[in-house]
Structure formats: C-alpha cells, structure tokens
Amino acid sequence: MKEFEFTTFLTSNIDIGEDELQKLSHACRSVSLKKGDFLLREGETCKHAFFVEKGMVREYSIDAKGREHLLLFAAEGWFLTNAESVYFDLPSDYFIQAMEDARVLLIEQTSINRLSEQHPSFASFNTRLLHSRILHLQTRVTQLLSASAEERYLAFIKAWPYLPLRVPQAQIASYLGITPESLSRVRKELAEKNYRPPK
Amino acid sequence: MKEFEFTTFLTSNIDIGEDELQKLSHACRSVSLKKGDFLLREGETCKHAFFVEKGMVREYSIDAKGREHLLLFAAEGWFLTNAESVYFDLPSDYFIQAMEDARVLLIEQTSINRLSEQHPSFASFNTRLLHSRILHLQTRVTQLLSASAEERYLAFIKAWPYLPLRVPQAQIASYLGITPESLSRVRKELAEKNYRPPK
DNA sequence: GCGATTTCTTACCATACATCAATGCGGAGG
DNA sequence: CCTCCGCATTGATGTATGGTAAGAAATCGC
C-alpha cells in the first residue's frame, strides 16, 4: 500500500521553504491507529488537522435513532479537518475513526493558523482546501436533493472507483444515505441490466 | 423592510481602515433587480461575490429531469459567492435569481483576493465566511442523510423562523428536498398534532 | 484449514414520499 | 367588483426505499 509523505504533499502543492517546513514539522505528531481507534469523538473539541499517511479513516455522525451517517472517507494522502470544531472551537458533532490500521499525522491547528499569517502561499493553500471542501459538500447536497439511490451509487463509484474494493458496502451505503440492503438491491439491478463499471 | 449597508456589515465584522474601504468600494457595483431577474445562470462563470442589500435571492440548480433544487436563500445582509465558479474558474452549476425585487452589490472577486493579500484582517474574515459555509453545508448533508421530511421542516423553521412568512412554500419544499404537496401534508400533520411554532 | 464473525444477499412486507389530477383560495390588476 | 393566475390543499394511487429476518458467502483468527 502506497504511503504518502506530508512534506511531499505540501511541497508539491505550495511554495514553502525548508525553514518553514521545519517549523511545521515541530507542530506535527505521527500516531499509529488500530482499526476502530478514534481520532475524535462526538462532543470533543478538535484541536488538530489530520493527514492520513497510511490506511483509511472515516468521519461520521450518529443520529438520534442511533444510525451512523458517513460524511467523509479519507485514504492515504488526504487532509482532513473538522472545520466547525477547529475554527469555532465548538464540540464536534462527528466521530473520526480508523477503518483500517492507519498512520495519521496530527497537525496543531494553532500552528496552521500561525503559518498562514506568516506565509502567504500557505494561506492560499489553506484557502484552496476550504474551497474544494465547499465544492464537494455543495455537490453532495445537490445530489442528495436530486438523485436516486442508483444514480448516487453510480456517481460514487465513478468518483472513487477504488473505494468499493476497499471498504465494506455498509459504509458506502451510509455515505449514500441508504441502507446496506438497499445498496445490495441497487447493485443487483445494475448487474441484471448488464451494467459494467468503467475501467 | 430593513436595509443593510455593506460597509456597516464589514466594519462590524472586521478591523478595516477607511482607505481600504474606499479601495473596495471602487470594485463594487450596486444593481437593482426585478423579481425573476438572474445574477448568474448555469454555465456562466461567476466573477463576483454578492451582498444582498434589499430583497431576497436564491441559488438553485436544475437537474436532468428539469426539477429545481434550492441550495441557498439569501436575504438582506447576506453575503454569497459561488465558490466553485469563482475560485476554480469553472462554469457554474447553479442559477442565482431574485425572488423579490432586490438591490444587490456586486463585488469583483479579484478585488477580494487582492485585499485579502494586503489586509490580514480581511483575509481572516474571508476565511471565517468559508468556514461558516462549510459548517452550514455539513449540517445540511448530515440532515439530508438522517432526518425525515418533517424533521427537516422543523429544523428549517427553527433556523429561519421568518422565511416561511416571506417565500412560497414550494421554494421551501425545494430546499428541503421534497415536493410542495409533501410539505403541505407535513404541515397539515403538524397542525393536527397541535404543533405550535416556537415564538 | 476450520470454526467464528462479519458482511452480503434475498424475500416479504411496511412506509414515506412522489405523482397526477382536481379543487380551493386569495391577492393583483383591469 | 370581478376575473385571473399563481399558490396551496386534498385524495387516490404509484414507487422507491426501509425494516426484518433468514441464510449464503466471504474474511479473520488461530
């Protein structure tokens, strides 16, 4: 399984000097997680951003009826933060949990903010991350408003063709907003229609 | 109907000097809109951010079956941008249209970016706007994944108690992701259960 | 390699919401 | 004041998806 280095991720995205990287690395801590371990639980305040170096992580909430709803998958090379919890210093509504054994870099949010103030290209990289998050969430809202379960599943496997090979179907169903049984039925109908996944 | 001045909005949110305000105002243009007029259409690239001074505006998409889906209501004092279109310079998937006669300030996105680079407090205000947008969208996704039509309607009128008085029910239904008929039935059932809106 | 979990499928029935069509209603304009 | 016209309601019926339960298949731990 391919591993991603955070510094590679950064230097390929922003124009940041060696000294700045040094400063940032002091604010980082790498942790190893077993499948099921939590990085954040509902009610906690999230003080870090996360960079997944290896393995996979999910962000989800649990509703009043005890059902889980998946907000985000994050595999190697993904950067994730809990925007509300970090920025507004609110207790989180979400859990962040390892779906596989994983190694994750914790980056102190305060350091990110400091570096953003000092380093314009870091700030604009930060802004870019926020914008792509908005874009993604907007697309998801529109899709939930307009598309059927089947359409959402097709869009999902088109966007992340490798994920169904790696995560349990029940997790994908939770992301799509349907039950695992319904997803199973959707897949059966697609098979009967001779649907072939784009290679 | 109360009117909001953009400068008041800015100075009450960020620490910005008189000269900076002057610069920004040169990049602004106020337009009057009749009900139904468009600020942006699908396929266009959005070069501005919008500040609603008077009236009300909606952002929505039209799906493959011709149905409208409402992403956002924006009344007086609301600031709205089309993140994807502006930031990634992509054609917009959304329409932005006046729901009532309105006056809207157009702010050139390039000027916002320039001011952000020069003026740290402007940059952090910008960042705050992005974060609250993420928070809002995240909440909406979670709600669409977990809550019934009735629950979503109750959450809606709790969050924006004044909107149902001002916009047609069909628009609210579109925001909630249900048909106008279903919303009518939801309201009927709430009335039969003797539901009273919180005052 | 084998039993034990976990995950996936299938069948049957229940429910929420959509669709279609008819009717009611209330405000804007002649 | 009356007539439209847009909007909301209601009823009958359709459909997508949910819930439950059972069994099949895959995966994991040893």
The per-residue pLDDT of chain A, averaged, comes to: 91
pLDDT tens-digit readout, A92-151 = 999 999 999 999 999 998 888 888 888 888 888 889 999 999 999 999 999 999 999 999
Residues of A within 8 A of B123 (CB-CB) are 123
Q: In what helix (H) or strand (E) does residue B194 lie, and over which residues does it extend?
A: none
B88 with A131: Cβ contact below 8 A? yes
Q: In what helix (H) or strand (E) does residue A8 lie, and over which residues does it extend?
A: helix A6-11
Strand C contact at CB of residue A142, distance < 7 A = no
pLDDT-derived band at B195 (thresholds 50, 70, 90) equals low
User: Residue B190 CA to nucleotide D21 C1', Å?
Assistant: 34
Residue scoring higher pLDDT (A4 or B86): B86
Q: Are B127 and A127 in contact (CB under 8 A)?
A: yes
Strand D contact at CB of residue B41, distance < 7 A = no
Indicate the residue of B69, B123, B133 with minimum beta-carbon distance to A145: B69
Q: How far apart are CA B190 and CA B199, in angstroms?
A: 16
pLDDT of B194 strictly over 90: no
Q: What is the pLDDT of residue B4?
A: 65
Indicate the residue of B61, B137, B144 with minimum beta-carbon distance to A134: B137
Q: What is the pLDDT of residue A114?
A: 87
pLDDT-derived band at B130 (thresholds 50, 70, 90) equals very high
pLDDT of B198 strictly over 70: no
User: Residue A118 CA to nucleotide C21 C1', Å?
Assistant: 65
Q: What is the pLDDT of residue A196?
A: 57
User: Residue B170 CA to nucleotide D4 C1', Å?
Assistant: 21
Question: Nearest residue to nucleotide C18 when comparing alpha carbons to its C1'?
Answer: B179
Q: How far apart are CA B33 and CA B45, in angstroms?
A: 19
Q: Is A127 on the interface with B (CB under 8 A)?
A: yes
pLDDT tens-digit readout, B15-58 = 888 888 888 888 899 999 999 999 999 999 999 999 999 999 99
Strand C contact at CB of residue B180, distance < 7 A = no
Instruction: Return the half-sphere exposure (C-beta side, CA atoms, 13 A cut-off) of residue B96.
Output: 28
Q: Within 7 A of a protein CB, which nucleotides of strand C? A: 6-11, 16-21
Q: What is this structure's pTM? A: 0.92
Q: Are B53 and B32 in contact (CB under 8 A)?
A: no
Q: What is the pLDDT of residue A199?
A: 36
